[in-house]
Amino acid sequence: MQCTTIGIDIAKSVFQLSVANQSGKIIQRNRFTRGQFERYLYKQSQSKLVMEACGTAHHWARAAVDAGHDVVLLHPAYVKPYVRRNKTDAADADALVQASRDPELKPVPTKSVDQQAMQSVHRIRQQLIDTRKQRINLARSLFAEFGVPLPTGTKDIIARLRAHEDRLPQMLIHALDPIIDEIAVLKTRINALDEQLKVYAKSNSVIERLMTIPGIGVTTATALFGSVSDIHQFKRARQFSSWLGLTPREFSSGNTRTLGRISKRGDKYLRMLLIHGARAALLGAHRKRNNGKEVTRLQQWATDIQQQKHHNIATVALANKMARIIWAMWTKGDEYRAS
């Protein structure tokens, strides 16, 4: 059977397929288990497979490419308008076929194994950080309940908790000891992941080049490498910045154009790292300027905005500028030039 497009609705153990002919008409629907779907990939003649860029999609995209198929991953938000009437697996698969015929929908590039592994390491690291933060907040609140307020911050938190532990009831001490030990263990695991990222950064020329930008360290550079499948999918620097959610929202109609706050769309983890990096870079530029040291054009521009407007506005503006610099360096293979 000759077919041009196959829409695939992915799930954990059930895969719904809609097979369309060259004119886009659905001519067959199949429902496979995981094993059946894997065998189907190698039995089916070369076809165009369309899937949503969701969980496990990049794995199946790589498997389909190895089987000789052409794979298109589409953003789920752009596929949803093509779902007709009730939402079912079959309707989702049909919607993928129709969405693939829209030339305005840009596909999501498939991640390599290394990129997906890098992104997974960052997910683990962030979850460890969040878990440690929860344990610290729990311990701090329990100490406060018994009249032992602890200063804010996580510096020397283990020593502070142990120093005041004798002021708590004995019953609570036995229950709290594992929590305090877990805080120390989580910090050790986070440091181990940071060392792992540093080792990988030294072996990747793209990451090393990105780290020369002020405000971009190992964490941000490796996160960018793991999250951005193909930097060349962005035709302009503003597209990359917009993908990160650092450009203004637009509310326009007729001859009236209104720009609002940043859109905050895209990967919030990357945006958080870039804004934190911009905050550190802005602080360094501010210190250099106050000490009478020479500053670069970028630092001069950022500190001028800081003086004219709010500090946070200058921080986000610098993060936006950093995103555009990242795009330029990454796409062209250039080195960072402060001038």
* 208-257 per-position pLDDT tens digit: 999 999 999 999 999 999 999 999 999 999 999 999 999 998 888 888 88
| pLDDT confidence of residue 338 | 78
Distances (CA, A) of 38 to 48, 64, 108, 113, 175: 16, 9, 22, 18, 49
Q: pLDDT, tens digit, for every residue of 43-77?
A: 999 999 999 999 999 999 999 999 999 999 999 99
How is residue 105 annotated by DSSP?
Answer: S
Question: How confident is the model over 277-290, as a mean pLDDT?
Answer: 91
Assigned CATH for 5-100? 3.30.420.10
Determine what percent of the chain is predicted with pLDDT higher than 90. Answer: 74
The average pLDDT across 103-108 equals: 92
Beta carbons within 10 angstroms of residue 164's beta carbon: 14
Q: What is the pLDDT of residue 37?
A: 96
Average pLDDT along the chain: 92
**What local confidence, expressed as pLDDT, does residue 2 receive?**
53
Helix axes 170-202, 113-145, angle to 10 degrees: 160
Chain centre distance of CA 151: 32
Please check the confidence at residue 28 and state whether its pLDDT lies above 70: yes
Domain boundaries, the chain: 5-100, 113-203, 218-332
**pLDDT higher than threshold 60 for residue 1:** no
Q: Three-state secondary structure along 172-235?
A: HHHHHHHHHHHHHHHHHHHHHHHHHHHHHHHCCHHHHHHCCCCCCCHHHHHHHHHHCCCHHHCC
